Structure formats: C-alpha cells, structure tokens
Amino acid sequence: MAEELNPFKIAQAQLDTAAETMNLDRQAHAILREPMRTLTVNIPVRMSDKQVHTYTGFRVQYNDARGPTKGGIRFHPQENIDTVKALSAWMTWKCSLANIPYGGAKGGIICDPKGMDERELESLSRAYIRSLGRYIGPDVDIPAPDVYTTPQIMAWMMDEYSNIVRHNEWGVITGKPVEIWGSEGRKDSTAMGAMYIMREAAKMLKIDLKKAKIAVQGFGNAGMYAYTLSKKMFGANVVAISDSKGGVYDPDGLDLKKLNDAKDKTGSVDGYKSKNAEKVSNEKLLELDVDILIPAAIENQVRGDNADDIKAKLLLELANGPVTPEADAILHEKKVLDLPDFLVNSGGVVGSYFEWVQNINGYYWETDDFYAKLDKILTKSFKSTIDMRKSYMDNGKRISPRTAAYIVAVDRVAKAMKVRGWY
Ligand code: GLU
C-alpha cells in the first residue's frame, strides 16, 4: 500500500499515537483532531497586464484554548487546504510545547510568487488582509512569514490592517521589518532556536560539534541561517547544502561567499565550484554519511522508502513535516535521534512572540536579551521533551521524541480546554 502523504492525515495520525499513549480523554481527542475554524477566500487582483486574476487563499485557526491563534502565511503554487490544516495543527503543538500564550493557525495563498512583480505581490498581500481582516487581530489571530513570504509582505499586511482598524496595529502581524517595530533577532530566530536544540542534543549524545559533519537540506531563511550559525557558533563542518534545484557536497566544508556566487550565477547552490565539491541531489543529500542531518525545506522528505538509508545519528527537523510516520518508525528502530519539527523550529514563533510582546508594551529590548530569552525557552522545551520520554522509558515504554513532545503539548491544550469547560 502506498504511504499516506497527506499532511493533515499525518498530523492526525501523530496526534492519535500520542492520545493513545497518554490515554487522552476521548472528547478532548475529538476536539483536537479537527481545526476550529477553516476559512477559504477568493481574491481578485489586478495584474500588471491589467487583467484580473482570482487567487484562492486559506486561513485555518486550529485551536485557541491557550490564546490567540498564531502562525505564518505561505505563498506557494501547490498550496492546498490539507497542508494548511496540518500546519495549523503543528502550530498549536509548537506554541504549547514552547509554553507561549498562543493557539495555532496557518494561512496560505495558491500563487507563484517567483512569477509575480512587486506591485502584484503587494496587491495580493493587501487583498488577502482585506478579505480576512475581520477574523484576525492582535488578540485574535496573528500571522507571520513562512514559505516565500517576507518581512516586506508583513509590512504591507500590517499597513492594510491598520487602515481597516484606523490606527497603527503593530501587533497584528510578526516578522515585520525593524523599521516598523519588527524585532531585532526575529530574522534568524528559527535557525537560532535549532542551534540551541542542537547544542543540547549533541551534549546528550556526546557529539563533539567542532568535529561534527552536518548536511542541510534547504537554503531558505531557515536553512541558510542554520548553515552560517552552525559554523559560527560551534565551528561545525557543514559539508552539504541544497536548494529546490539541487545541492552541493564538499567533504572539506562549504564557503558562504562561493555558495552565494553559485546561486547568483547559476540560480542554484549546485553550481558551487571548489576542488573537491560535487553535485548532490536533494534525495542523496539526506543519505550522506554525516553526524547531523537538518532537513530545512519542505514536507515529506524522509519517508518509508528512504528512512533506512539515513546515516546521521541526529536528525533536526527544521522544516515543517519533513519526516513521515512510516519513516518515524524506521528511524526509531535504527535509534536515530529524530527531534520533531514543532520543537526544533519553534524559535521562529518564539521570536514572533517576543516581537508581539514588545509591540504591545511599546518597549523594545536589546538583541542580547532577545537571544538569552530564546535560549531559555528552547532549552526548556528540549528538556520537557526528553524528560517526558524518560518518564515513559522508566516505565518500560520506549516512545519517540515526537510522541513525547506531543504528550507535553497536547496535555497543556487539553487542560486549558478542560478548565474552560469545553469538555
Ligand atoms: N512560520 C513560522 C512557523 O512555522 C513562524 C510562525 C510565527 O512566527 O507565527 O513556525
């Protein structure tokens, strides 16, 4: 039978596993299996050739028992409602595990941002906010950047929302440019969070990061910073990196300037030139003989059909949903420590939380404070996951870090729903 790759079915299956393991109340489980609100909008936008094109967009608000819903907006040609639903569920678990006062949401527009000019992108961004304006707000639902959305797009969206409510509402959206009170540190906070997790996991597994070999799949905001920060903070050797077109492997390590040159000249990092560099496909990159593997691109990269070929001892899911449940089971058997997305990439939303707190208070922190607070939260999330896993292990039940993290996160949301009288 073909493996189930529908992200929402995957998210539900992950929840079901956790629910069974933790003996979750049946009614709480039923509430948590579906999003509370699913919105679809069709937005006409006048393109630069004067024609009107109608785009379809989504916003899914999964659960707000612990606070306003929170999560990014993706601009992607293959966007679909099930992916957005899954991502909104993962945001719920992410905010809960980090113990920040938010529920989860996600948005998306089916579009190809690479084929649009700046004016078209601005019109689309503003139109999306006009059609969703009444359903979002700093106490209701707070969007942020995600795949192919940028601080500039957040700025247009914040501006449009402010026009609707007739005052500047900085806290309606995060990941803004610093000129309009985005936060110092937010830009690399997703990757920075993963670095703190990597530091803790390496300590636990006794991996010497100075000697470790790392492969990173993806050269977007998360992947690019994961590469630079691994080198800068730990002196680690990143031997492979890729983008959507292909990748490069060099056992001697990779140089940022050469990577950027390759990207500028050939459109992909696979055009990288050095003595020992060779091209590597996105598939093969995952199977390289490295200590740490960081998938930082898109969903469903490590699956039932390739999980057995993974050689890394530590897998850090910096992308959302890069490992399928079948792969999960295989990695678990192989004793690869696979740390789940909603732990590893939670630095992004924690950074967003800091931005929102500063916006609401109108008081802005030093960058050092931002990172110190980020470190504290991420280290604590790691510890709660590992402690939860250990408490099951001590009772003779070997559970994966993903299930352990789910149990921590789901338990908090279930308890909030319970005291509120939802079940
Ligand atoms: N898009 C990021 C994520 O998936 C950040 C979300 C946010 O900052 O609200 O976690």
**pLDDT one-digit tens code per residue, 354-398:** 999 999 999 999 999 999 999 999 999 999 999 999 999 999 999
- Are residues 169 and 44 both part of a single domain? yes
Give me the amino acid identity at 174.
T
- Are residues 169 and 244 both part of a single domain? no
Across residues 9-28, what is the average pLDDT?
Answer: 98
Q: Residue 139: which CATH number?
A: 3.40.50.10860
Mind telling me the catalytic residues?
A: 106
- Are residues 129 and 197 both part of a single domain? no
Please give the distance, rounded to the nearest whole angstrom, from the Cα atom of residue 174 to the centre of ligand 1: 9
Q: What is the pLDDT of residue 2?
A: 86
Across residues 210-237, what is the average pLDDT?
Answer: 96
Please give the distance, rounded to the nearest whole angstrom, from the Cα atom of residue 288 to the centre of ligand 1: 29
Pairing state between β 246-249 and 278-280: antiparallel
- Are residues 45 and 162 both part of a single domain? yes
Asked if the structure places residue 352 within a domain, the reply is: no
Mean pLDDT of the chain: 97
Pocket of ligand 1 (CB under 6 A): 70-72, 94, 144, 146, 174-175, 320, 345, 348-349, 352
- Are residues 101 and 53 both part of a single domain? yes
- Are residues 156 and 205 both part of a single domain? no
Please give the distance, rounded to the nearest whole angstrom, from the Cα atom of residue 298 to the centre of ligand 1: 14
212 close to 292: Cβ distance less than 8 angstroms: yes
- Are residues 95 and 194 both part of a single domain? no
Asked if the structure places residue 63 within a domain, the reply is: yes
- Inter-helix orientation angle 347-361/367-393, to 10°: 130
- Are residues 118 and 207 both part of a single domain? no
Q: What is the pLDDT of residue 244?
A: 93
| 8-state DSSP, 186 | S
* Shortest-distance Cα residue to atom 8 of ligand 1: 349
Q: How many domains does the chain have?
A: 2
DSSP 191-225: HHHHHHHHHHHHHHHT--TTT-EEEEE--SHHHHH
pLDDT band at 1 (very low <50, low <70, confident <90, very high): confident
Rounded to the nearest 10 degrees, how much is the dihedral formed by the CA atoms of 121, 127, 133, 137?
A: 10
Q: What is the pLDDT of residue 414?
A: 98
Q: What is the pLDDT of residue 283?
A: 97
Asked if the structure places residue 357 within a domain, the reply is: no
Q: Per-residue pLDDT tens for 153-195?
A: 999 999 999 999 999 999 999 999 999 999 999 999 999 999 9
Asked if the structure places residue 26 within a domain, the reply is: no
Q: What is the pLDDT of residue 113?
A: 97
Supply the range of the domain harboring residue 227. Answer: 189-344
